[in-house]
Amino acid sequence: MSRLLSTTSLLVAVAALSLCAGAALALDRTVTVTNNSSTPMIEFYASNTGTSEWEEDILGVDVLEVGQAFDVTIDDGSGYCKFDFKATFSDGASAVKQGVNVCEISDFSFTD
């Protein structure tokens, strides 16, 4: 009887861990990025903190004018929640913010 109880307890524990892992992977990683600087943003990058390379420019050919915002899902399939953000502006300046937890925030602003 105790062997059956131990096996049942183990199965319940494994099922609970699977649900927790699935929930972590299903976290909402949608972030509204706002350009609250004084210059149009011409490039935006987000790369998980486990890499030293920047991913592709998320804006592409678009420009994020002063005061504008856009929604982006920051999910590269790695399961990471922490990402580094980089913005490049039309005047040549750039800004980097490291370790942004996209699983915990829903809004992010670049300012001067």
Report yes or no on 21 lying in a domain. no
Report yes or no on 23 lying in a domain. no
CB count in 10 Å sphere of residue 62 = 14
87, 94 Cβ separation under 8 angstroms: yes
Q: Per the structure, how many domains does the chain have?
A: 1
Confidence band (pLDDT; 50, 70, 90) for 4? very low
| 40 SS3 class | coil
State the CATH number of the domain containing residue 32. Answer: 2.60.40.2890
Report yes or no on 48 lying in a domain. yes
Report yes or no on 16 lying in a domain. no
pLDDT of residue 42: 98
pLDDT, tens digit (0-9, with 9 covering 90-100), for 86-112: 999 999 999 999 999 999 999 999 999
Contacts of 3 (CB under 8 A, 6+ apart): none
pLDDT of residue 23: 46
Say which residue the tokens 């890499």 belong to: 51
Range of the domain at 71: 28-111
Report yes or no on 46 lying in a domain. yes
Q: pTM of the entire structure?
A: 0.76
pLDDT, tens digit (0-9, with 9 covering 90-100), for 27-37: 899 999 999 99
